[in-house]
Chains A and B, each alone.
Chain A
Amino acid sequence: MTTNAIPTDAKVSADGLAVFDRTTSRWGRLTMLMGLALSLAGPIYIVFFAGLDVGISQVLVAFLAVAATFGVLWVIEPVTYYPILGQSSMYQAFMIGNIANKLIPAALTAQTAIDAKPGTRRAELSAVSAISGAVIIHIASLLIFVGLLGTWLLSNLPPDIMQVMKTFIVPAVLGAVHVQALMHLKQPRTALIAVLVSATVVFVISPMVPGFGMYGTVLAVLSTVALAWFLRKRTTPTDAQAS
């Protein structure tokens, strides 16, 4: 193949893109597996080799509770993002995280900037380039502001501020999450069911049953999913057939 081959030559173009698909799927998968192994190495070390009294069954129970709550997203999110990201970017995006709030806007901005039509190979390469640009900025800001500045902050912040950051981080995150969920309501019916079920579980059932608290979230999630499904709006005849 000559380097100055005209790109409209279909054969050349198909070859070049086949190489791209092979490289990105092979190396994308390999690097993702490495990231996966590394992200698990930390907790494995802490649980087994740090001299703490933690049983594998405790970790398993905790994981099952997390799975019961968020497990459905492990399947839904890849399926949702695939049409936007394409094969190659999937392996980038799921390792970097912050997909919806950062990577997808970055990819769309780049595609608009070079006027690439969604669904074309040009748009796919543009998305990969944009995500790579976003990765550079993201990695740099994390290393500088969290890695270096964070380490300095941890050893210099007054203990009472540290204590407050530690004790109140959960309500300080969840207050914002609730308002966001309610203001961007796409499913008011589901939200209402979730609020009523959660309030019943936390304020009515938990105080009556000692030691129930830890299973409260799982119960609330499972009941809300069931109720939201059976009480869903059935307007069009196609929905009735589908269910």
Chain B
Amino acid sequence: MLLIHCPYCEADHPELEFANAGEAHIVRPREMSNMSDEDFEAMFFIRDNPKGVSLERWRHVHGCGRFFNALRHTVSDTFLKVYKAGEARPSNDEIAKLIK
């Protein structure tokens, strides 16, 4: 069972309190009606499944209720970073540094 740090509660809590909410940093355009089928497919259906760092969303559903983002290494399940919703996606350089 994962131990997850909630960036809003600023505390570690067991996985039981959280719900995974899929891939992070997928932008839902405000003018969706104009999207091409290909863009909609890419936005709605296509997901990364990396062996390595996964950028993903979690919700502290049985806690503060907030959605937040996390970088989790899928091989070791180590959380490299958690950050609040709306904060910028960490750069690839930053991610590379975190892995080390």
A binds B: no
* Chain A interface (Cβ < 8 Å from any Cβ of B): none
* Chain B interface (Cβ < 8 Å from any Cβ of A): none
